[in-house]
Amino acid sequence: MPPETSDAPSTPTPEACATHFHGSYLPSDVQLLFTPTCIDGSDPEALAAIPAKLAEYQPSEAYLKFFYNAFAQNRRRLAQDTLSLARQLVLKTRGGRPKVLVSLARAGIPVGVLLKRTLQEHLHVDIEHYSVSLLREEGLDEQALLHIVQQNDALGRDITFVDGWTATGTVARALWQGISQFNRRHKTQISPDLHVIADLAGIATIAATTNDYLIPSALLNATISGLVSRPWHDATAEQFFNCYYFQHRQAEDLSQWDVDQLMAEIRQLDRTPPCIEPDVRIRQQETSQFFIEEIIETYQLQSIDQFKPGLGESTRLLLQGAAKPDRLLVRNRRSPEVEGLLLLANEQGVTVTETVAMPYKAALIMQPMTEAEA
């Protein structure tokens, strides 16, 4: 159910854009290592100046109804997967106690906040949580990584990277490449391993599941991600990568509500399923790669970047105002899990094709990027 007005979390205002930037989360939840531009709605020119590629879909009443239903149906599953992942991180990390979580913006932020609270409250592990940017063209924000190693272990050995899910594995591969370069350049020993809730690509080091399901934080934009936009990079400045902080949308914000609701669920849990075993991951990777190659050939795609598999990734792209979807693939049109995607596709005039043999419940095919967009 949606939060009552009196229960809605208050959005931190001037301190939210200060040195310890945390968006609309609590200061103890995360340090968002971005350079924020605060949008409070008082200046129409500032709103108009937001680039089209960072525009966000404003959900309809029908879509919000779908969101709350999906949240209710998937909250227990996500709570179980979060606790499973948190427990596995404790077992895997050096010394048995992770010290620094680094989430990849933006999809990783809500998962990172949830993992931090779970580790602290449920498993009694004290941990820092930062979020950094990893962009397709610009790569990792090295200024942000340098800040983390300066504040913690100088070799970066206590860093654990987390994200919400994998799709084609592009982000995981970019992380491996970026961290390898960073380690060589700065003589650090940061692990490039990625840890996620749902590993559709079969490429994460640790994942709670390989199943494609509705992770609630994938179903909205800034209003479930601390009121921050997707990051971008101003290459002319020596600073963290950039984001907008949408203070003017605080009445719509569900970021803390989302985490509070899921933490209430986690507190009721005792036993949880184990994280996936390596042989399951390998099979998932083979299945995913085979299907991706088939789709690239069938639809004559120019790049793997045009294919966005999974309920979460497909929804995330349709929620971006400047995204250019070409076709939505669904395994079963009648499944309640794709109701939100069908609503978005109908509103945006996107062709829907039922693909029964697909290993995911949904996938999005994007139009090829022009040279100006690349």
Cα separation, 54 vs 103, in Å, equals 20
pLDDT of residue 40: 85
Question: Measured in whole angstroms, how far is the alpha carbon of residue 37 from the centre of its chain?
Answer: 21
Cα separation, 7 vs 352, in Å, equals 38
Cα separation, 78 vs 237, in Å, equals 39
Q: Quick one: CATH architecture of 61-266?
A: 3-Layer(aba) Sandwich (3.40)
CB 245 within 8 A of CB 39: yes
pLDDT of residue 8: 41
User: Hey, what CATH class is 278-366 in?
Assistant: alpha beta
User: What is the pTM (predicted TM-score) of this model?
Assistant: 0.93
Query: Using H for helix, E for strand and C for coil, what is the string for 44-100?
Result: HHHHHCCCHHHCECCCCHHHHHHHHHHHHHHHHHHHHHHHHHHHHHHHHCHHHCCCE
pLDDT of residue 54: 86
pLDDT of residue 11: 42
Domains of the chain by residue range: 61-266, 278-366
Tell me the pLDDT tens digit for each residue of 28-69: 999 999 999 999 887 788 888 888 888 888 899 999 999 999
pLDDT of residue 17: 56
pLDDT of residue 95: 63
> With a cut of 70, which residues of the chain have pLDDT below it?
1-19, 94-97, 321-322, 369-374
